Amino acid sequence: MEQMKVVLNDDEMPTQWYNIQADLPTPMSPPLHPGTGQPVGPDDLAPIFPMNLIEQEVSQQRWIDIPEEVLAKYLIWRPTPLCRARNFEKLLDAPVKIYYKNEGYSPAGSHKPNTAIPQAYYNKISGIKRIATETGAGQWGSALSMACQMFGLECRVFMVKVSYEQKPYRRLMMKTWGAECIASPSTLTEAGRQVLAEHPDSPGSLGIAISEAVEDAVTHDNSRYSLGSVLNHVLMHQTIIGLEAKKQLEKLGVYPDVVLGCAGGGSNLGGIALPFVCDKIHGKNVTTIAAEPTSCPTLTRGPFAYDFGDLAKKTPLLPMYTLGHDYVPAPIHAGGLRYHGMAPIISHLVKEGLMEARAYNQLDTFDAGVKWARSEGFIPAPETNHVIAAVVEEARRAKEEGKEKVILFNWSGHGLVDLAAYDAFFEGKLLPYELPEEEIQRALKATNGFPRP
């Protein structure tokens, strides 16, 4: 019988997160205060995040211990299996071995709880009573709702209105886990009311929802804000994925040629790839690839610039690839990839040539996702379909080159609450969405960023 997967026992789960800041050949640029233009200090961030998370955000320490209480919650579903996609390999008929981490096994159905749980924990032990956050398609909002429930915190989620209406199951998950889910823009915040005054029918955007959540957090007692991607500490929490995968591949005596993840804010990609980028920095021959949508091609076409994380310019200025903080991406079903910016860590790695990026259009991603579902069974999230499209491309290249290749990717989540998107695909109602060149020119102007070489 052929081996299909590698599982780890509870006591084999990594007990530390990996912080790539300790290994970067060139340091990252710091976030800047939007008022002064100076690097932000811990005190600037204190109204938004608890101090223990701020310390993690700026830490240069290579390994950070995962607290016992967080490990105990991780163990509800972690370590996730490392699976071999033998049926998909047969379908592709290429000289590749494809391994994937199934992060859809978490209770929320994605990788998001890997950071939701420690974030809720660190807020809890800091004496915080409630957390506000935003969510696009709802993966992050549902994960944080669950984590807050587990640690006895109140949770308010501002959900982008168009998703709030299109994805009722996601907000029902939040309700089941005891959180409050608000359609954004809302009348609960100044930021929301401003948008509604100008655009009463606004479908919302992640940028608006972040503004609302930050404002909500700083205007309520004992409240803080929580972000599900982009920031350094978030990517660090996600490295549990890649660290597990490494252990599992070691058991097979295998090392990957290529490591891939889809990229919206960059957290699931960072989670699987950063431990391998570490090896690359230390001389190992491994390629890491970000798969993003052509409708929101931040890494492949956006300028590198200091830009805001949100529409209302409430966040620090982050050094990243960006399409401009006021950019509203096309309504692709991969809501988790509709973000104008990108994690500074991922942006830095791409800029320094330590990571590659490719973009895929919506139709190709669903085509890849359906092929996956019909061979491997599991129905992927629309976001995950992007990395599957990249795997298909890698396999095709390997075949053309006649070169054997070991592929590892992060199967970031299942699509069981996104099935309407599959229906639209089968009915021929999906658009590919390629970004016109003038949008890139607009982004360059808006961000005052550096044009791409």
Give contact residues for a second copy (rule: CB under 8 A): 1-11, 68, 71-72, 75-77, 83, 86-87, 105-109, 113, 146, 149-150, 168-169, 172-173, 175-178, 370, 373-379, 416-417, 419-420, 422-423, 426
Closer Cβ to a second copy, 108 or 273, answer by number = 108
Query: Least Å distance between CB 108 and a second copy?
Result: 8
Closer Cβ to a second copy, 175 or 403, answer by number = 175
Query: Least Å distance between CB 419 and a second copy?
Result: 4
Query: Least Å distance between CB 78 and a second copy?
Result: 9
Report the side by side order of strands in the sheet with 287-293.
Answer: 5-6, 82-84, 96-102, 405-411, 258-262, 287-293, 356-360
Query: Least Å distance between CB 352 and a second copy?
Result: 37
Closer Cβ to a second copy, 34 or 81, answer by number = 81
Q: Do the beta carbons of residue 381 and residue 139 sit within 8 Å?
A: yes
Closer Cβ to a second copy, 253 or 377, answer by number = 377
Closer Cβ to a second copy, 95 or 107, answer by number = 107
Closer Cβ to a second copy, 32 or 424, answer by number = 424
Closer Cβ to a second copy, 47 or 152, answer by number = 152
Long-range CB pairs of 35-41, under 8 A, 24+ apart, other chains included: 37/317, 40/316
Closer Cβ to a second copy, 32 or 370, answer by number = 370
Query: Least Å distance between CB 82 and a second copy?
Result: 12
Among 257, 213, 181, 285, residue whose Cα is nearest residue 409: 257
- CA angle, residues 116, 122, 125, in degrees to nearest 5: 135
β pairing state of 180-184 and 304-308: unpaired
> Tokens representing 168?
């009722």
In the block, tokens 């049926």 appear at 87
Query: Least Å distance between CB 383 and a second copy?
Result: 16
Query: Least Å distance between CB 430 and a second copy?
Result: 14
Measured distance CA(354)–CA(21) in Å, rounded: 14
Closer Cβ to a second copy, 143 or 195, answer by number = 143
Closer Cβ to a second copy, 215 or 364, answer by number = 364
Query: Least Å distance between CB 70 and a second copy?
Result: 11
Query: Least Å distance between CB 347 and a second copy?
Result: 32
Query: Least Å distance between CB 128 and a second copy?
Result: 19
Query: Least Å distance between CB 10 and a second copy?
Result: 5
Query: Least Å distance between CB 416 and a second copy?
Result: 5
Closer Cβ to a second copy, 52 or 87, answer by number = 87
Closer Cβ to a second copy, 173 or 350, answer by number = 173
Preceding amide of 275 cis, omega within 30: no
